[in-house]
Structure 1
Amino acid sequence: MGKQYPAISADIQTFIEQQHVFFVGTAAADGRVNISPKGQDTLRVLDANRVAWLNLTGSGNETAAHLLEVNRITLMWCAFEGKPNILRLYGTATVYHPRDAEWAELLPLFPPLPGSRQIVVVDVDLVQTSCGMAVPFFEYQTERNELNRSMEKRGPAQVEQYWHTRNAHSLDGKPTGI
């Protein structure tokens, strides 16, 4: 049975910190709904009602485009080992870029990762758990390093060029603010 909470408790924070992957869901007023998997050491619980994640360069930038238009977001974790659990954080989000003053404040919370593109801060207004009894068991092996190697090989100038040619607009043609 699902339970709802107004904030991230210590137990929920521990669960978040133990997970290796989470999912981000956003949607604009029209167009496609986007669900993105996120990995590596890119998420931090800032307090009982705020989390931040370091958004790395990818083939698209749907989340940023959606948040510019409709400022709502859902983050989800599934327990792939141990006790079954699904956790969702619902809220609104702000996207910070390297050009923003908040970037310098938030970036030290994360390990240095090549291709760091944005930091998304989520103001959480609802925390919900559900059973997760149909989620299969998976065994974690290790992080993938292909993205980091690709961004290191490109170097900062080529990564920034990639942002402007491949990450400036969503699949639906909406600007991403990059």
Structure 2
Amino acid sequence: MAKFFKSITDPLRRVVERQRIFFVATAAVGARVNVSPRPTADTLRITGPNEAMYLDMTGSGAETAAHLRADGRMTMMFCSFDEQPMIVRFFGTGRSVLKGTEEFDTLLANYFDGKDLPGSRQIVVMAIEATQSSCGYGVPFFDYIGERPTLRDWSARKGDAGIADYLAEKNLVSQDGLPTGFESVVDALKG
């Protein structure tokens, strides 16, 4: 049975911090609903009882950034694939903190030990209005093998200039034509 809470409780935090993957859902009027998988290793931080953030990497799309600019609504979902069946959802609003800004550098220093990752383009900060837990009995067991190095290796090979070119070509608008705001990231990377 689902239970709602006003913040991230300690038991929910422990479940979330054990997971290797989470899903981010966003939407905007006139656009498709988007759900994206995100790795938790090195990227997710719970920064308070009503705040979470993750370091977002360059990818083939930029729906989350565009939707957050247009609407802001956001849900994060964590599924436990191990012995404790549980689904945890965070409901709230998100905002993009773009690479190349002072706030990005401050968040990186304060919450990520100053360690940027190849291809990062933003930190997504979520203000959490409510959390929910549910049983997760329908979620199968999965064994964790390891992280895929492909995206990080690709980003490292491209370097800042290559990532800037990729962002300029593929990440300035969403698949539905909504702006992402990544022009300033492109400029910062070309520095």
Classify the TM-score, shorter chain.
Answer: over 0.9
For 1:163, the equivalent position in structure 2 comes to: 167
Match of 2:141 among 128, 137, 141: 137
* Structure 1 residue runs of 4 or more that deviate by more than 6 Å after TM superposition: none
Q: Please, which runs of 5 or more residues in structure 2 have no aligned partner?
A: 183-191
For 1:176, the equivalent position in structure 2 comes to: 180
Match of 1:146 among 150, 175, 182: 150
Could you tell me whether the CA contact under 8 Å between 2:12 and 2:133 is conserved in 1? no
Percent identity of equivalent pairs: 43
Query: How far apart are the structure 1 equivalents of 2:13 and 2:103?
Result: 23
Query: How far apart are the structure 1 equivalents of 2:132 and 2:13?
Result: 13
| 1:142-168 CA-partner distances (Å, limit 9, x unpaired) | 111000100000011110111111110
Query: How far apart are the structure 1 equivalents of 2:83 and 2:129?
Result: 27
1:43 is aligned to 2:39: no
For 1:27, the equivalent position in structure 2 comes to: 27
Match of 1:121 among 119, 125, 128: 125
Please, what is the CA RMSD of the aligned residues?
0.9
Query: How far apart are the structure 2 equivalents of 1:146 and 1:112?
Result: 17
TM-score under structure 2 length normalisation: 0.91
Query: How far apart are the structure 1 equivalents of 2:176 and 2:95?
Result: 21
Query: How far apart are the structure 2 equivalents of 1:18 and 1:112?
Result: 22
| 1:48-84 CA-partner distances (Å, limit 9, x unpaired) | 0000100001000000000111111000000111111
Deviating more after overlay: 97-106 vs 164-173: 97-106
For 1:14, the equivalent position in structure 2 comes to: 14
Query: How far apart are the structure 1 equivalents of 2:140 and 2:100?
Result: 41
Q: Please, which runs of 5 or more residues in structure 1 have no aligned partner?
A: none
Q: State the AA in 1 paired with 2:160.
A: P
Partner of 2:52, secondary structure, is strand
Query: How far apart are the structure 1 equivalents of 2:157 and 2:12?
Result: 37
Query: How far apart are the structure 1 equivalents of 2:129 and 2:167?
Result: 31
For 2:4, the equivalent position in structure 1 comes to: 4
